[in-house]
Structure formats: structure tokens, C-alpha cells
Structure 1
Amino acid sequence: MGVGELVMSVLAFSSPLTTVAGTLPVLLIFSGQTAPAIYMLLTLMLVVFSVGFVRMSRNVKNPGGFYAFVTAGIGKPAGLGGALLALVGYVFIGFFAPSLFAITLQGWVVNALNGPDIPWYWYALGIIAVTTYLAYNRIDLSAKVLTTVMVLEVIVVVVFDVLAFVNSGAKEPGGLGLALPSLTDASIGLALLFAVGNFFGFEATVIYREEVKNPERTIPRATYLAVVGIGLFYAVAAIAYIAFLGGSNVQAAAEANTVNLFDDALRAFAGNLFADIAVVLLMTSILASMLSIQNIAARYSFSLAVDHVLPRRLARVHPAHGSPHISALSVGALWAVATVLFSVLGIAPEKIYPVASGSGTFSVLLLLFITSIAIFAFFLRPSARKGTAAWKVLLAPAISAVFFGIVTFLAIRNFSALIEGSTLMTGIFMSFTFALFIGGIAYALYLRRQKPDVYARLGRQSV
């Protein structure tokens, strides 16, 4: 892959059309006129994080992503704990897609096409089969699919932005009315949590190290382009919502019509035909996001199998496609089994994706915080800095560690809202997340005593 394909793979993770149509209205409920500023704040902080992240990628050339970085920075036990957080977190995040896709397609077939009311799980199993087929094949096939879908999604969102600005005018109260978030605002924590998940996936720039052209140049360029591009894209979309709905009205409008806010606006702007096209692209957006996440999860599974932590079959590379095909099949099979299980238990699909997405987001956020600490710790060693400016390798990682530590604290404090679950579910999923990291540390210590050859491999290190 080149820079463009790598950036599109990262952008696909956040599912632009799904975010603008689904996540942004929720964010507007909590943030209102401050939503654009929240996106810009997160963009700034992730650019700061990327300074150390990119510099680290030149020192640690193992393709294990955060797994390799945490191992190099604070040791193999923490590295293995971080790898389990990543693998389970990405598998959970990706499992939001089958149920959301099924609900969207089921409603469209019944209401727009007057078609049969097919049970949701058949649609869910169908999309799992499609993404697993693509993830099984060469990464450039996935990249081509993702690039095509991303271009179409971006066009729809840009059209929405332009029409929102054109139709703003003085008819709605408050005008743009943009504002900066206040630290005393009780809802800023939830707003940050809903927005930060839109940036996940940029880790792919180092995970695909073995599958990109000229990684020394491609990885830094793709990282900065992805982070800045995502931030600006969503900030402009948030401004478009505010421009159309009015600054003083946007929060109430988002709360009153969260699910259909984007669709209703688009139908008012461009008519039913364009809105129906957008619904179809929304479904392909979900597919692209799921594919991007499946590719990342498969490569974490592959890395852990290469290190002999997971069964070695998962480390097999397809002789023709060069892909970790067994790991990709395993992720798809896990999603399929979970879909069948939840359907047999009678759990409604709309109950599945908030829990899957929210708990997975918390796992990856915790890993991002740990990685920030690891980058800072790595560059405390004079040999690692090698004359590099201190602000790049010490100050920037320290700032990002403090920031993501605060966001992680907010996530813990608001975890029930993040997964839209009860107190019992909150306790179960939060305990499970911390148990993954602690369990990874404990297992690494066991390997150090009982299987030193496996322990030596941790972090995709050559032995």
C-alpha cells in the first residue's frame, strides 16, 4: 500500500458516513455548539501523540503496533497485557457492525423497497461473510475496496456540509454560535468519549509496516494525514449541523431527533433519491469500517501467534495472498458464532452494538494511554534519543500521556453511559477490561519462568 491507500484504511475504521449520521448527533446532545472545538482539541492532542509515535516507529520496526511499542517502552509483561487489550478491544469494536448493518438494511428493504421482513441475523451473517472474504485476500484488495467506499462517503458528507451551509441563513436562532468547551461542564467527559473513538485506527499505519511501500516515509505521512484529516472532516461536519439547525437550537434538535437528524436534513436538502443513495452508502460505510477493524484484529492475532502466545496456526500466511488468512477467518468465525448465540438468546440487535462498541472503545483508549507512557519511558533512555529534540521524544509523549490519562478517567467515570448499560453490565465489562491487561502481565511472568523461549519473542522481537 502507498500513503493514500493507508490513509483510506485508517479513515475507514472511523466509518465517516456512520459517524456523521449516527455518532455526531449523539455528540451534539452532550456538546452542542462546542462539538467542533472538541474535535479540534482531540486532533491537536493526537498530533502531539503522533510526534512521539512516529519517532518511535523509526526505532521500533517490529510490525506489532502498540504491542511492540509498549513492550519496547515498559517491558514484555505490559506489552502482552496491551496486546490482549488491543485484540479483544478491536474484536469488540468490530462487532458493532453486523447488528447495525442488519438493522439498517432490514429497515431499508422493508420500508423503502417493500420487501420481505428477513430476520436480522441473516443480514449480519452476510456482512461477516463478505468482510471475511476480503480480509482473507491480499491487503491491496481490501485497500481498493476501502478507498472506493471512502471516496463515495466523503462525497455524500461534503454535499451534506455544503447544503447545510447554503440552507443555514437567519431563519434559525443562534447562527453558528460556536463555543469552546468548559472544564466545568458536566457533559464534556461524555462528549470527549464519543468523539475520541472516531480517531481510532491510526495505529494501522505501523501495524501494516510489512505491507506498505517505503515504510520509513509512508508511515509518518499517513499518520499525520489521517489524524489531521479525520479531525478537520468531522469538525466541519459538526459546524454544518450547527449552521443548519442554529447554535441555540442544535442541542435540543439533536436530542429530539437523534436517529433521523442526518436523514431528515438530507431529504430536505436534496430530495428522497439522494437520501436513499446515502442510506445505501451508509451500509457500505459500515462494511468498510468492519473490514478495516477485521484487518487490524487479524494482524494482532497473527502477531501473538508468531510470538507463540496464541496457537501457531493463526500465524500462517497465505502463499498467494500474503495475508494472515487463518487469523482473518478466526475473527470472522468468532463474530458469526456470537451473532448466532445472541439471536438464539433473543437479544435485540439494537442492544448489541452500543455494548460492543463502547466496551471495545474503552479497551483501546486504555491501551492508548498505556502506549503514551511507554513512548515516554522508551525515550528516557539517552541511547534512544540520539540527539533528537527533547520536545519531540519527551515533552510531546508526556503531554499526550496526561491528556489520555484524563480521558481514561472520564471513561471509567462514565462507563455506563458509554455502553448504555446497567450497573451490573458496567461492573462486568469494566472488570473484564482491566482483567485482560492484568492477566496478560501475569501470563507473561509465567512464560518468563516456564517458557523463556516464548517470553523472549514477546513484542515481535527476533530471537
Structure 2
Amino acid sequence: MTTESSELPVGGGVQVAKLGERASRLSGNMGVGELVMSVLAFSAPLTTVAGFIPVLLTFSGRTAPAIYLVVTVLLVLFSVGFTTMGRRVRNPGGFYSFVTAGLGRPAGLGGAFLATFGYTAIGFFAPAFFAVTIQSYVVDNLGGPEIAWYWYALALIAVTTALAYRRIDLSAKVLTVVMVLEVIAVIVFDIAAFFNGGPADGGGAGFSLPWITDASIGLAVLFVVGNFLGFEATVIYRDEVKNPDKTIPLATYIAVGSIGVFYAIAAWAYVAYFGADKARDAAVEDTAGMFSSAMVNLTGKIVVDVVSILLMTSILASVLSIHNVAARYLFSLGTDRVLPSFLSKVHPRHGSPSVSASLIGGMWAVLVVSFTIVGVGPEKLYPIASGSGTFAVLLLMLGTSIAVVVYLRKNREEGDSVWKTTIAPVLAAIGLAGVTALAVINYSELIGDTGMITTLFLIFTFGLPMAGAVLAYILRARKPDVYERIGRQQL
């Protein structure tokens, strides 16, 4: 293969690439705002506020807002080392590249396997959840026919696959529009809740700091951390953004900070409306209908109908964001030739990972059909998919935080700040280790199942990085050229 090099414009800048590898470069023109919205969409703001925060309140009550702020501090600490390393490891492989650079190729490939499974699993929860949501709305609100859930799920997968197949700028525009509408809906709820709060004898709008001895603190923290997953996308889209060295760090801090503050205020709005002393009981009594009942009382049924539609578009935006991230992991593994090289095919017009995006959509569709045939309903699917995927990505984040510490200590540069290269990354690693321990302890609650299912998923998840490491050693012995590419090391 030729080793001649040529300058190739990537992400608004110029990077050096081998002529034979032009086809493995993605392209796009996202700015800070679009990148932040792509990250925010991952957590589905309206879905989180309407569906996940009421569940959080059943665990934490009046401490829910503060838990969001505590986790925000932890992930800002993580972002310090994350962005510092991102300026030095300029590969678009996300955590895959970072773990490889810090801990070596075997660990990096194990991390890539974790990420691919994690994001694919998290994304698969959405079609089932979407199906249940829209099915209920069509039957109960519109008086329409009761269409089987899998048709709605397959329709969602078809839409997100079509968008993920095309240029990332189109997905970014769709996500931006949907996110703006969702944010407006949540802000309306927040303002109305604070202005029409519950009576003072219910505890008012005060909230408390959480403590390690609080009941269910582990589950509460896990739920909150899950709302932040996806900010890795800022580095995954490196080839598809304008001026990545400035855009990515800025977008990362904005995304992490805004997610934390946005959800903390929304959780506080619940506390203000129901009363700090009564919020937990209200959540336990009507977890699924807590948001809707509050919105009806605060704004009227017409607004609730609009919000119900936005809730469905929120799920669509979330699965599209996850679809794009999962596809780019397959693309990276195909580019490195760890997986079949056809996964690295770039669409000649859209500059997108069209084959990988299609494969992710195809896998989800096959899974929907398969579970339908064996009689597994959507209510069973989405907690297992979401919980197992979240744990896999959390485990990967812990590995990445350790890799950041190791890499920045080994590759110190003149003028490096001790805060950026040591203190913040070490604190983040310690914090994420604690969260991971909580996840293991509470794993059965995280996936909504117990017994053999819990054991099998734990074994499978911890087995993934081990399988990746074993494969890396096999590649080192049998295909050293492929081994050298692991972690997007050869661009």
C-alpha cells in the first residue's frame, strides 16, 4: 500500500492522511451549538424530566436537585482531563482512542467492545419505550386503533436509520430543533411549578444535600449519572465539527454544565410544586403520571397534549443521537480492520458512516422482530436494555478516567497545570470508581430483573473487555498490522 501522504481537510482544519485512507474520513460542519444539542439529545430532556426524575424522586425526595449538582461536579472534573487529553490524542475514536493511548491496545479494544455493546443496548431501549408511549397516546387520547407495539418500534428505527445514514449536519439540525422545543416545554413546567408551589406545610421549595447513609442513595446516583451519558460524542465527532480544538472542549463543558443545572432545576421544580416533605410520597404514589398531573393542574390539558407529542419526538431525538454514536464505534472498528472493513465505508455524498449506521438499525429491527416472536413485551425490554447499556458505558468511563490519569502523567509537557493533568483527573477516577461500585451493588434494580438474568448480564459485561484484550493479543501475533491500528492509531 502506498505511504504517500496528502493534506486532507477534516472538520474545518487540515490533517495529514494517507491517500489510500481517504475513504475512511467522515465529514461535517457542526458548530458548538449543534454539537451541544447532539449531546443533550442523548439524554432526552423531556423524557428525563417526565419519566426519569419522578423515579429519582422515589429514591431521593428532596435531595434530588443536589444529587444532580454533585454528579455535575464529578463530571466537570472528568471533563478537565478529558478535554486536556483530547487536545493531544486527536483521533475520532472517543473513549476507544483514549483508553488505547493511556492503557494500551488490548485495553483499548476491550473498551471499544464495551462501548459498542453499551450504546447499542441503550439505543435499543428507545424503540420499545417509544412504542408503549405512542400506543397509549393513540388509543387513550386520540381514540385510535390499537396497533401492535412492534410496528411503532420498527417505524422509529426506520426514521432514525434514514437520518443516521445521511450527513451528520442533517441529524444535528433535526436534534437542534427538537431540543429547543423540549427545553421550552421543561422551562414552562419549571416556571409554573415555582410560581404555583405547594403549601408551606408541605415543606416548601427547600432541598437538602444527600449523604452516603441515605436510603437508596446508590440508585439515585446511578439514575443521575445515566442522564449524562453521551457527552463522549464531542470527541467522536472530531472529524465532523468546525475547528475541533476549540469547538470540542467548549461544547464538552457547556454540555456537562447545562445538563446538570437543567435537570437540577427541573427536579427542584417538582420539589417546589409538591412540597419538599411530600415530593417523595407523591412520586411513589403516581410515578408514571406525576409529570402529566402536575402539568394539567399548572397549564391545562391543551399544553399537556402538546407536551405529549414533544415527549415522543424527544425519544426519537434520543435514539438518533445514540444511533449516531454507536454507528461511529462500528465505523472506527471497521477502519482499524478489527471488524470487517466494509463497516468503514463512507458515503460518497453524505460523508457519513452509512454502512455502520444501516447495520445498527438493522440489528435493532431484527431484535424487535425476534423478541416479538418469542413473546417478550416492550415493558420487559426497555429496563434491561437501558440498564445493561448504561452499566457498560459507566464501566468504560471508569477505564477512560484511569487512562487519562496514566497518559497525562506519562506525557507531561512544559507548562502543564497540575490541576488539569493530576488533581482533577485523579478525583474524577476516584468518584467514578465509587459510582461503578454502586452500580454493581444495585445492578438487579438497574436492569429491573433479578436472579439468573442479573448474573448473566454482569458476566457478559465484564467479559467484553476481557474478550477484547484477548483478541488484541491474537491480532498482535497473527495480524500485527491490524494490531498497530487499534485505537485509531493510524490516521
TM-score (ref. length: structure 1): 0.99
Measured in 2, the distance between the counterparts of 1:108 and 1:171 equals 35
Does residue 432 in structure 1 map to residue 456 in structure 2?
Answer: no
Q: Which residue of 1 is the match for residue 6 of structure 2?
A: none
Measured in 1, the distance between the counterparts of 2:181 and 2:438 equals 35
What SS class does the counterpart of residue 202 from structure 2 fall into?
Answer: coil
Q: CA deviation at 1:462?
A: 1.2
Does residue 353 in structure 1 map to residue 382 in structure 2?
Answer: yes
Measured in 2, the distance between the counterparts of 1:113 and 1:443 equals 53
Tell me the alpha carbon deviations over residues 43-98 of structure 1, each in whole angstroms, 9 at most, x when there is no partner: 11111111100000010001000000000001000000000000100000001100
After the TM superposition, which residues 358-369 of structure 1 pair with which residues of structure 2 at under 5 Å, given as runs? 358-369=387-398
For residues 169 and 111 of structure 1, do their structure 2 counterparts lie closer, same or farther at Cα, with a shift above 3 Å needed?
closer
Q: Which residue of 2 is the match for residue 68 of structure 1?
A: 97
Tell me the alpha carbon deviations over residues 148-188 of structure 1, each in whole angstroms, 9 at most, x when there is no partner: 00000000000000111111052651112310111112311
The one-letter amino acid of 1:352's match is L
In the alignment, which of 207, 213, 220 is matched to residue 178 of structure 1? 207
Measured in 1, the distance between the counterparts of 2:295 and 2:374 equals 37
After the TM superposition, which residues 144-223 of structure 1 pair with which residues of structure 2 at under 5 Å, given as runs? 144-170=173-199, 173-223=202-252
The one-letter amino acid of 2:182's match is E
Measured in 2, the distance between the counterparts of 1:142 and 1:424 equals 39
Moved more, 347-356 or 387-396: 387-396
Measured in 2, the distance between the counterparts of 1:207 and 1:172 equals 49
What SS class does the counterpart of residue 461 from structure 1 fall into?
Answer: coil
Query: Is the CA contact 2:113–2:465 (under 8 Å) kept in the aligned structure 1?
Result: yes
Q: Which residue of 1 is the match for residue 349 of structure 2?
A: 320
Q: Which residue of 1 is the match for residue 481 of structure 2?
A: 453
Q: CA deviation at 1:344?
A: 0.8
What SS class does the counterpart of residue 121 from structure 2 fall into?
Answer: helix
In the alignment, which of 249, 253, 263 is matched to residue 224 of structure 1? 253
Q: Which residue of 2 is the match for residue 138 of structure 1?
A: 167
Query: Is the CA contact 1:266–1:275 (under 8 Å) kept in the aligned structure 2?
Result: yes
Q: Which residue of 2 is the match for residue 117 of structure 1?
A: 146
Q: CA deviation at 1:434?
A: 0.5
Measured in 2, the distance between the counterparts of 1:394 and 1:75 equals 20
Q: CA deviation at 1:384?
A: 3.5
Q: CA deviation at 1:387?
A: 2.5
Measured in 2, the distance between the counterparts of 1:311 and 1:227 equals 34
In the alignment, which of 299, 302, 322 is matched to residue 328 of structure 2? 299
The one-letter amino acid of 1:221's match is L
The one-letter amino acid of 2:445's match is A
Measured in 1, the distance between the counterparts of 2:350 and 2:263 equals 35
Q: Which residue of 1 is the match for residue 27 of structure 2?
A: none
Q: Which residue of 2 is the match for residue 413 of structure 1?
A: 441
Query: Is the CA contact 1:97–1:290 (under 8 Å) kept in the aligned structure 2?
Result: yes
Q: Which residue of 2 is the match for residue 271 of structure 1?
A: 300
Does residue 422 in structure 1 map to residue 445 in structure 2?
Answer: no
What do you get for the CA RMSD once the two structures are aligned? 0.8
The one-letter amino acid of 1:132's match is T
Q: Which residue of 1 is the match for residue 430 of structure 2?
A: 402
In the alignment, which of 75, 81, 102 is matched to residue 46 of structure 1? 75
Tell me the alpha carbon deviations over residues 381-416 of structure 1, each in whole angstroms, 9 at most, x when there is no partner: 1x4433211111111111000000000000000000
Measured in 1, the distance between the counterparts of 2:412 and 2:332 equals 24
List, as ranges, runs of 4+ consecutive aligned residues in structure 1 with deviation greater than 2 Å: 169-172, 383-387
After the TM superposition, which residues 3-42 of structure 1 pair with which residues of structure 2 at under 5 Å, given as runs? 3-42=32-71
Measured in 1, the distance between the counterparts of 2:482 and 2:199 equals 67
Moved more, 161-170 or 58-67: 161-170
The one-letter amino acid of 1:190's match is L
What SS class does the counterpart of residue 380 from structure 1 fall into?
Answer: helix
Query: Is the CA contact 1:305–1:314 (under 8 Å) kept in the aligned structure 2?
Result: yes
Q: Which residue of 1 is the match for residue 121 of structure 2?
A: 92
Query: Is the CA contact 1:172–1:244 (under 8 Å) kept in the aligned structure 2?
Result: no
What SS class does the counterpart of residue 409 from structure 2 fall into?
Answer: coil
The one-letter amino acid of 2:419's match is W
Measured in 2, the distance between the counterparts of 1:207 and 1:177 equals 39
Does residue 101 in structure 1 map to residue 124 in structure 2?
Answer: no
Tell me the alpha carbon deviations over residues 409-433 of structure 1, each in whole angstroms, 9 at most, x when there is no partner: 0000000000010211110111110
Query: Is the CA contact 1:64–1:300 (under 8 Å) kept in the aligned structure 2?
Result: yes
The one-letter amino acid of 1:404's match is L
Measured in 1, the distance between the counterparts of 2:207 and 2:299 equals 26
The one-letter amino acid of 2:76's match is V
Tell me the alpha carbon deviations over residues 227-262 of structure 1, each in whole angstroms, 9 at most, x when there is no partner: 000000000000000000001101110011000100
What SS class does the counterpart of residue 460 from structure 1 fall into?
Answer: coil
What SS class does the counterpart of residue 222 from structure 2 fall into?
Answer: helix
What SS class does the counterpart of residue 10 from structure 1 fall into?
Answer: helix
Gapped regions of structure 2 (runs ≥ 5): 1-29
Q: Which residue of 1 is the match for residue 419 of structure 2?
A: 391
Measured in 1, the distance between the counterparts of 2:132 and 2:400 equals 36
What SS class does the counterpart of residue 87 from structure 2 fall into?
Answer: helix
The one-letter amino acid of 1:94's match is G
Equivalent residue pairs, number: 462
Does residue 443 in structure 1 map to residue 471 in structure 2?
Answer: yes
